[in-house]
Every structure is written in C-alpha cells, then in structure tokens.
Chain A
Amino acid sequence: MHDMSGHAAVHHGEPTSFIHKHVFSLDHKVIGKQYYGLALVAVLIGMVLSWLMRIHLGWTNYAIPGLHLLSANGAPGNVMTPEYYLQLMTMHATIMVFFVLTTAPFAAFGNYFLPIQAGAEDMPFPHFNMMSFWVTFTGFLVLVASFFVSDGPTLGGWTQYAPLSALGPVGGPGEGWGVVLWATSIAIFCVGQLLGSLNFITTTLDMRCKGMSLWRLPLSAWGWFITSCMGLTAFAVLMPGCILLILDHVAGTSFFVPSNLVLNDQLQPHSGGSTLLWQHLFWFFGHPEVYIAIVPGMGIVSHVLITNLRRPMLSHRVLVYSMGALGVLSYMVYGHHMFVSGMNPVSSLAFSFPTLVITIPSTIVVLIWLGSLYGAKIRINAASLFALGFISMFISGGVSGFFLAQPSTDIMLHATYFVVGHFHLVMGVAAMFGIFAGTYFWFPKMYGRMMNETLGKIHFWCTFVGAYAIFMPFHYLGLAGNVRRYQAFVADYMQPLIPLHQFITVAALFTGAVQVIFLYNLIHSRFAGQQATDNPWQATSLEWSTPTTPPPHNNFGDTLPEVFHDPYQYGVQGSAGDYVMQTSPEQVNSPHDEA
C-alpha cells in the first residue's frame, strides 16, 4: 500500500495550451478552483432565489420588478404564482445543498489542498478528477436547464417525495420534465462525487509523502478523507434512487407509485410501488449528506483555528475519532426524518436513540474547540472570526437537534420552520462560515495575494449578525406551528406570524446584499491584493512550504517534501518563532505532545 516515499505514477507534464491549463486541466489545483467557481456561481443563483422567496413570503402580492422575465407563466404581472414559489424553493435548496455545500468545502478546498497537505504532487487519477468536475458541471447545467422547459423546474422540494415526484405532469407544474431533469442532474452529480471521493480516499491512503503518517495529516485533510468515505457510500445509494425515479417517468415503471391513485378524477396507470421506498433511499443518502456538508467545515475550521490560536487542539486524535464517529453514526439516524411518515412507530424509537447519541461526538468536537481556546493567544482576523462564528452557529443549530431527534417532540415540529431554522444554521450557515474561513485563510496560497482584512471583518460582522437575525426567528415560527413550504400563510393561526416573516425578509435582503463586499474583496484581491508571502500566517502544514506561491504545477518542485512532525507544532520555540513547520528537521520538544 503505502511506502512513505510518495508516488510518481500521476506525473503529468505542465500543460502549455490555455484549454489544458484552465479548462480541461488535470491539475488538482485548477480543478479545485473550478469547483470553487462553480460553487460561487451556484451560491449567487441560490441566494437570489432565496431573496425572491423571502420577498414573496413577507409580502405575498408584491410585484417584483422584472420577475416576469424569469418566467412569464410563473410571475404574471411580476407577482409570483403559488407553484412558481415552490419551483424556486426547490431549485434554491437543490442548488445550495448539492452545488454549494457539497462542492465548496469538500470538492473545491479538498481538491486544492488535500494532495498538498498529504505531500503529493497530484491526485492518483487526474483524469477521473477532471471528469469529476466536468460531470458535476454538466449536472449543474442540466438542473438549470429545467428553468427553460415549458412548465419550469420541479416544485417537489429537494426531497422529491414520491408519488408526487413520480407521477408525471398530472402531479402539477414541473412534475414532468422538471423532475426528470432534476433526477438526471442529481444522478450525474452523484457520478461526479463518486469519482472525486475515489480520488480523495486514494490520495489520503496512498499518496502521502515520506514521513507523513496518517496521524500527521492536518485536521482539514482528515475532514476531507472522512467525507469522501461517506460520499462513496451515500451518493452510491442516491444515484440508483434517481435512476428508478427517472424510469417511473420515462419507462412506465412503478417503483415509487402504488395502485389506485386518482388525480384529476383519473385513475393512474401505476401499481405495486412503494412511496416509502423513495424516502428510505433518499434519507439513507440525505442524512450522511448533512455531514458531507459539515465535516469538511469542521476540518477547515479546526485547521484555521489552530493557526490562529498558536496552539494545537487539546487532542488531534479525539477530534479525528469524533469526526469519524459522526460519519459512521450518520448512516444510523436517517429515520428521524420519517418519524411521522407512517413508518413503523417502533422504528422511530430505534432511529431516535442513535440520533440522540450522535450529539455526543458533536459535543466532544465543540468542547475540544472550546477547551483549546483556553489559554491560547487568539489572533483575530477575518479567517479566525469566521471560524469562531462557525462554532457559535454549529452550537445554535446543534441544540435544536435535540427536539427533532425525539419522535414525541417532532410531532409538533416536523415540517415546520423549526426544522428549516435547524438545518440552515447547522448545515447551511455553519458550512458557509467554514467556506468563508477557508477562503480568507487559503486565498493567499491559491492566488498569491492577500485579501483585504478590513473588508473581510466588515463582511463577517454583517453576516454573523444577519444570519442570526434570519434563522433564529425560524425556530419561533416553528414552535408556533408555522408549516414550511407554504407560499402564503392563509391559515388563521399563521396570520399573526406574518410580521415576523417580514422581519426575516428584511434581514435576508440585508445579509444577502453584504455578500457583495465578499465578492468585491475576492475579485479585487485576486488582481490587486497585496502580494502574499509563502507563509503569511506562520503556519506549519505542507501547503505553506511549497517552493512558490501559488504552488508550482507539481506542488513541490523536483523533490517531494519529507515530514518530520505532527501537523501543529505551535507554541514551541523553533528557529522561525513560535512554530515549527512539518518539513523542518529540527528537534522539537512540544509542550502539546499527545500521549
């Protein structure tokens, strides 16, 4: 398996043509940046969709100028129709979950930095890697294409519950071609992520340089490794699920449609399928997906924090074991999405216990972070602020999980805004904070220029306060019984909640708008930022010891590095100050050695 000397099997010469250098590149760094670019485009679309939804939820009859340009049928007179709201909602969620929260923290940063942190010159299967991106990109195009088919994208939500999703156009607008394109897009996406996961796992296991034992990998690399193991199994279940769904549409099968359904007074020509089968397949993927979105963030945030705490975590290994436990347990808890689905009520209890138990590794991770802050010398910068913000968001989103883990309390909160608040904080906002922390931290290495710190801090403050202003009230709405996925609140008891929705809308518009600061900072710094040194944060891991910044095509020049230390030798008196790089052969008596 691993001979601790690095492999040269992946060697591919530096391309000279524009196409091979920037478009169909085999270089993991370029592929990482491509993934980041895709995520950036996707998040902008997703955010604009959320604005449109929020405006509609606050002021249902408000005519949004120009909306009819997006869809003449969906917004006659610029006022959103009920079905168009659901279509935008479905696209918002699908784009965000798949093409932002999975691609940015995992595929983008992981591609760029996993091989470098492991001390490899590239991934073992560069062609697979290139395919992984372009397949994912194709999946994105297929999804966006559904905006342009006759009755628009699907309205079935990102969960696409059958039989609504499997019946075809009779189910409603977007339930024909919209669903087929959705399922095709996701199936393609799964292929891309499977290829990526294979590469990540092999890079971690087989491509490490001399001296780089598994325990010497930084926590970010561990995050990506654990995530890729999850990706390999989770996407492998969703993909056949999507294929079966497509077959129900185009091949006359009835995997997810039972007999005797009547729509528009017409008995449907299906029989023998199971609606719960889709839910099982979907959530067997769906719950690990939550961790696929957040575990890379945990790794990135730990990595960023350590550098800014100037000390390693209380325990490197406990963090790794906890992240691994989250990964394993994430497969045993998926039934908590189905407590009131008609699944056997005994199963609800069986799924409830592991769901409650998963709070233990999560708590360990948080306590290790908190314990590591103790006695540190925290450097405050945009990256560390977002990393600390991540901890706060993860806690806030995590504690609401207690309610949803129990079937009895879930009766009151299932399908309400409480759930929406919970997953937005713990997986949406927290993961976004991980992406921001990673961006501010690694941008200098990726582009050779520093990002503007002042703008970064303004961006943090506005986003931090804004995100809480948006998502905390979601929990209150849920407690009051406000059902999610409603385009208007016509039930008598929901009408008093509309002012709170309007407050949320204003907060969402503000928080979305301040992202322009980030975008400006990103683009401006790319071209006009202050030149970065090779190691601007005085960090220890391998990405900071590349011969040039950005790293050369083969990452480390002619010879692969040799590693002599654990990844986080901070708080020691080395020749370079309070830290010793992994590549430095000097002896270290670390005050933080693990037993």
Chain B
Amino acid sequence: MKHKSQDNPQGEFPEEFGSQSRRSFLRLAGFTFAGVALAGCEQSRIEKAIPYLIKPEEITPGKASWYASTCRGCSAGCGILVKNRDGRPIKIEGNPDHPVSRGGVCAIGQAMVLGIYDSMRLTGPLINGSLSTWNAVDRTVAGTLQSLQSKNRGVRILTGALNGPTEKVILDGFLRRFSNAKHIVWSALSQSAILEAHRLTHGMRVLPRYRFDKADVIVSFDADFLGTWISPVEFTRGYTEKRSLKGMPPMCSYHVQVESRLSLTGAKADRRIVIAPAERIALIQELYSALTGKRAGSEMARLGRRLQEARGRSLVVCGSNDLQAQLLINAINHALGNYGGTIDLNTPSYQHQSDDRAVQGLVEEMREGNVGALFLAGVNPVADLPNGSEFAGLMKNIPLVVSFADHVDETSSQATIIAPDHHFLESWSDAEPVDGIVTVNQPVIAPLGNTRSLMESLSIWSGRPKSALQLMQETWSRSVFPRRKKGMGFQEFWDRAVHDGFVEVHPTRRVLPRFRPGSVEPPVAQAVTEGFTAVLYPKVTVLDGRHAQNAWLQEIPDPITKITWDNYAILSPEAAEKIGGMSGDIVRLSLPDGSSALELPAWVQPGQPESVVAVALGYGRKGTERFTSIGPKWLQGRPSTGPNGLVGVNASVFLEFDNGEVKYERNGIKIEKTGRRSVLACTQTYHSVDSPPLLAGEQRHRRPLVQMTSLAEFAADPTAGSYPKPESRSLWSEEHHYDGYHWGMVIDLNACTGCAACVVSCQAENNIPVVGKDEVLRNREMHWLRIDRYFMENDGTTDVVHQPMLCHHCDNAPCETVCPVQATVHSSEGLNQQIYNRCVGTRYCANNCPYKIRRFNWFDYPRDNEKENMVLNPDVTVRSRGVMEKCSFCVQRIQEARIEAKRQGTTIRDDQLKTACEQSCPARAIAFGDLNNPETRVSMLAKDPRQYQILAELEIRPTVSYMTVVKNRLDVKEQDNV
C-alpha cells in the first residue's frame, strides 16, 4: 500500500474487517446451530461518521449535484451532465439541451465514469519508466528543447482531433517558439479521405457536418454512421427523427446500406446491398453515372432516381478512407444539390481532422532522423499505425519523446517522458465539435493522481505557466467571446457557458465554397485479387482500442455478434464452408508474402460476401492483461484473456498506407485452419429454450417476439404486422388495480439501433458487476438489460432486429408465485420488487421467468479495488453472493422523484423521472413513466397501434411493451422494392 492516501481517500474504507479468531469462528458455528431465533446477540461493528471539517457550500451529503461537461470518450464532443454524489462523479447522462448530442450518450460515454477510478491510471509523471516529479519533468523537457533549438531538429506534436479553441492557442503558442515545429493530427479511425476530397472539390480541408435529421433518402457505402462513424449519437438522433412514422403519409426516410460486413447501421437499413470492398468504387461510379444520366436500368440507376426525387433532401455517405471514392461521393452529393441541405459546409464539423499524409510524412522524417522532439497526445501510433512496430523503433532515435497518455500503453512505454494528462472529468478544457458550438469541460472531482493538464504542461514549457482555467478564460475573452450571439458581459457569457456546458457562437466561416467539377476523375478499376479481403472495423464499444482497459466496455456484447471479451474473424457461412471451419475454430489469417499473420477464432455470421473476413481493431492492447483474473476466483475459473495474455489480438498489422491514406481493407488474405479451437463468449444463445415438439404445438419455431411490417402496409393499416394473439386462459384470477402511479415502459423497436448505450447506463446506475469471460460463457452475465438480436432470413437477405430485454414487471408475475420466501413481490405501483435481503437464492423465480431477465449472484464478485469502488452508486445496494437480482425500473430514481415531488406538494411530472436506460438512449427509443397519467409519453405510446406485448398469450400482463418495426418497403419480406 504505497499510495495509501490515494487508494483510500479520506480513509473512509476500512482496511480490514477484522481477522477471524477461533472464538468468533465458534460463535459463527453456534449461530448456524441456533438458527435465526437467537441470532445476532452481538453489538454491531462500530461505524464512524466523519463529517467535513469545512463543508463546501454546494455539497449536501446524500444529495447529488450535476455539472455540465463534454464527453471526450471519442472526438464527437457530446454534451453530458455528470452526477456527483459527495464529491465523486458516479454517473454520466446526456445533456438534453446540447445542440450536437441532444440528450443521448453512447455506451462509451456512459463507461467513461469508470475511467476516473481506474487503478491502472498513471498517478504521476514517469521519466524513462520510473515515477518522477513534475519539476524533474519540466527541467528535462526545457533542457532538451533548449539544446534542440541550436541544432534545428524538428519539434513535432502528434495529437488526435484537437478542436478546442484554448487547446489550439496553447499548442500554437508552444510551437511558435521553435523554428521547425509542426502539429500533426491523426486518428486511428481516420477520415482523412473525406477531408482530402473536400480540399480538392471545395478548396477547404474540412469534414462537413452531415445532417441526417434532414435526409429523406440515405445511401451509405460502408459508413457505420449509427455505430462508429464520426458522431454516432448525433446521427442516431437525426436519423430516428426522420423515421418517426408521424403524420400521413408516415414520415420515414429511405435508407440503403451498401456494405461489406454486417454493421449496426446496416442492421437498420431498409435495403442492404452486400458487396465485396473491391466492388464499391465501381458501384459508386455507376451511381454517379446514373445521376448524370449516362446509364439506366441497373439497380444503381433506380437508386439514383430515388435520390433525384429527393434532391437536397438526400444524403450519400461513404465510410471508406479511399480518396477516389470520396471524390465521387462529393460529386454525387453536389449533383443531388445536397451541399447546403443535408451536408453543411457553412458550419463544418471539427470532430475529425486526421491527416494521413502528414503522418506518413512524420514517419519519413523520423526515418531520416530529422525529428528532435516528439509530443504525443491522445494517440497510440505504435498500436494503431500500419507500421506501428517500425514507429516504435524510430521513437528510440528521437532525443525527447513526451507522451501525455494516462496509461502505460504501446506508445507511451517507449517515450522518454510520460506527462499524464488529467482524466477529462478532472480538468478544464474546451472543444468545438462543430463550427459555432463551443463546449466546456469542467472538473467535477479533484485529480486523483499527481497528473497535470496538457494545457498547463504546454504553457509551462512555453515559459508562461498558468492554470488551465486562466488559460481558458484568457482565450475565451479573446477569441470566443467576440463571436457571441447575444450582447452580454464576459462574466455572464462565461458563467452561462460553464452552466450549460456549451455556448453557441457565430461560426467562423460564412461563404459556402463552390464545387470544382474538374477535380473528380474517373476511378481506376481495382484488380481482382486472390484470397480473402480483410475488412478491419471498429467495434461500437471498443472503437480503436483507446478504451480497451475499460472493463464495462469489454463485457458489453457486440451489438451484432453478441460476443464479449474478444475479437474474431467473421466469416460468411459460405466462406466457412470453403475453409471447412466453424465458429470457434482458430484460423490463421496471413498476407500473401507471409510478412504478418494473425491467429484468432472464427465466427460464422450471415450478411457479408464470401470473400470477406471482418476483424475488429482495437484489441490485443497492452494493459488488457489486467483482466486475466477479473472474474470471480474459484477452482474452475478461467482467464478472460487469450493465449497472448491480452484481450483479443491486434489486427492493425493488416493496415497499410495506400495512396496517402490508411486503408482499412487488405486484399489477398490467406485463411487456414490451425486445428485448434477457442471458445467465444456469445450471449445471444444464452437463454434459448427449445420446447419439446409434443408440448410446443404450432408455435414451436416462431414465437411472435418481433413484429415487423413494411411502410406500405403500415400506411394502409397502422396495426399491420401484428401477430394475432392466441386464445388463452389466465392462471391468475385477480385483476390488479393501481390507484396512484402505474409504472410502465414502451420500447420502440423501430427507433432502437441496438447501440448498447442503455446497457452500460444501467450497469453504471445499478452497480452491476463485471463477471469476466469465463462467467459469461457459463451464462452468468449480470446485465439487467440485455439486447437480443434476431436475424431474419428473407430470400437470401438478412434482416436484423434488436430488442432490448429487461424485467417486464408483469402484473401476473410468474416469478412472484414461485418464490418460497416472498423475496419478489408486487408493489402497489406495478413494480415487481426484488428484495435482496429476503432472497435465499432458490432461483425458482429465474426458472419461471419467461423473459429470462433474472440474474443470480453466483459469487461475491470482486469488489476489492477500493479506488474503483468509488464509482458505485450509493443509492443502490451492492448485492452479495446467493442473491437474485434484476431490473428494478430504477426504483431509486422513482423514490428520489417521488420524495422531491411530495416535498413540493405535487405529483411526479413526466420529465422529472427517467430511468437510466431511457435517459441515455440516443434514439429516444425507450419511454418510461406513469401509465395512469394519459399525458405521459409512455401512455401515449402505449395506445399507439404499433404497440404490442411479447408472450402476451401467457396472460402475465407485462408492463413493458414494444413497437413494431417498420421497414421502408412495399413488402416486408422483399428488400428490393420501394
């Protein structure tokens, strides 16, 4: 316990709960004999109550305070509200007023709160790998920089998207001190080609702001815009608004996804066209030709017509980092008049600024030995660059490498100095995700370690040491305040910005640049290659691997494959047949020249072409060895890591620079079976129940769980797609009456994208433990809310539907009737209550639950890290071994809202109470509230013709219901008609 004061802040966690003496053992033994009647004659353990010496004015113990801030989990810049209890951030929620994210937070954003308490986060600066002091760091940096200036070797800063006004000013100020200095922006999930294409076609190297909220027809070529592309929360909200089915004819955009692997976005598409990556450019060309009237009759021509009909309201996007493709996409969007409509260049996005060419230039300079000092912030090039290991080698030749990383990772471990930056919830900073929207980060907790803000570090090394707050206020008064929209003084402007978490100011650009037609050249057809094409993609939860050390994110099942704790080679069933493999077989993927190879388990899944093998990036990260024994420790426990000691394998060895951009597809991959097998912890098949044929009757193969219809049918009949409710008699005689509130939930499956934000939000709110890969394999995952994924095969195409599944709080709850100790009982407001202290763990209830949403604590899950325990929500009991648990409809929030309402002498208003899952949902797919009040959102949706209950034939009267999926088609079974 070297850093006791940090690991055990305020000394509030007792170190030991007393060792057991022989005497206490005997007493315990006697207890078992004597039974409960005489139990506990022991005075309880002495507890200390330690108040503040001097209480900060804004803190009331036991009461949460909320601070507006900005999420830095990725570069999208969503607005968040951070819930603080007794000085600790314990939950992140979306900021409903924020103009970018509008109230949603993704899974990654939700999990960021765990990162503050990460015990592996660096607690102080390192020089050559050993803990040092900031004074020593400052001396070393200043000394080396001084000596560099005489030698004229370059100073380079490599950062991720860096768009905060203050950050930029500080960085520029630092670089200006050197004659040969450059700032290079790069991200592992590069959008360089889009920026480059706009430089060529519009004369400005920017990323436009895509307005999915204005798009009636969307064609996406491999852009996973609902999952991982640029700003998924913003796009999800806009996209679902356009598919609200309101009005007549019902509002519903038409979405075509042309893609080479099954993505989250593809799962929502009305029409999914499966192509090999090599075919993409030709298809885009064909679409362009169709729009310019050169070809007709083909599928792309029909699509072109559809796009033409929605001129200015259509949107064509491409996720490929291929300049040729992006140039064509720009030409298409220009031809469709989308610039100024669905594509905004007036107020462009700064969410991605990567410049792959500049990174290549940097590597070149490093090879030549021209770099004297390299600063790295928010990047991990050794793990993410195509030639990462070479980069690591070249770093050794640079006299000074400073990393601002907060963990020892592949890159920072090679650095001379690690000057760890604060967690974003510990520091002041700003961002400008979209031109004209400047967001604020404010500290919500004092730094837990001896870390220092990047801005402060740079200002010290520039010779003008100032605090981050001072730096920010100075910059704001100079460059942000003059852009204000309303007249007010600086203090008011600043206070408002900090209070709201953002401020809307005049954008910096005014003139819409003109399209330059000559800049688009017809593409060269790609040569067909032998072997497989590896498609390297980011997962919704792990992205490029920057959050690989976040246990919550590792345990979230991937929305499509439903696999946790691993990456794998996804093969189509045809490809699997070709190589004679099946899911779980370890396959060896290798380049034709044998220069690099990967061994990882195969996963067979429909929805991708035979020639494609899809592998997730961001795995095999240094630091994930910490998860080896994250699960409960017992005799048969197995590690959560693979044979390499890490979670998954790093697929970036297959990346390459091609024509200036990082290419996320690699041709000519050879796949061989190794003969070994591995197990993948997939949660989808967890609770499948196969009824014996004699018992099940006609319903055996198809339970009406997901209702789906087409837009044409829906327009004609709003109840279209409903399954007839089978006749059945209730086992329960009583009718239930709820006089006060009656809590219920409706989940709109048409809006739900399956992004898993709700799952992490629930995990954070309800103290749900992480169980590790081995326990997931044993079907002992603990998430109260899971998302079921259904594949539906129609004429060779695959439809995917996601269905969030949680406790349905049935009126006639089957779990309640079988509990022998009444540990699960009904409340007067329709809640199915689970009383942990009554539960004796018979598991009868879980057995009798038709939705299979009950979770049993097979162990006391590891809670031995006191620092990480600080993330626990003090309003929710931490369940112990032998106890059943399940969704409580966030009853702690209901209680909080009820008591506050009572205090004010009113009843709970609809906007005063949101469950964790509902609050987080970027698509607003979840509505929770009082069913007895006709004005709540949930009661309105409950009366919608699309509303249906699942397993209603059991007469269990669930209070959670769903809404039919509507695909924009003529016939729901055929994708190819509109």
Q: Do A and B come from one complex?
A: no
Q: B: which residues have CB within 8 A of A?
A: none
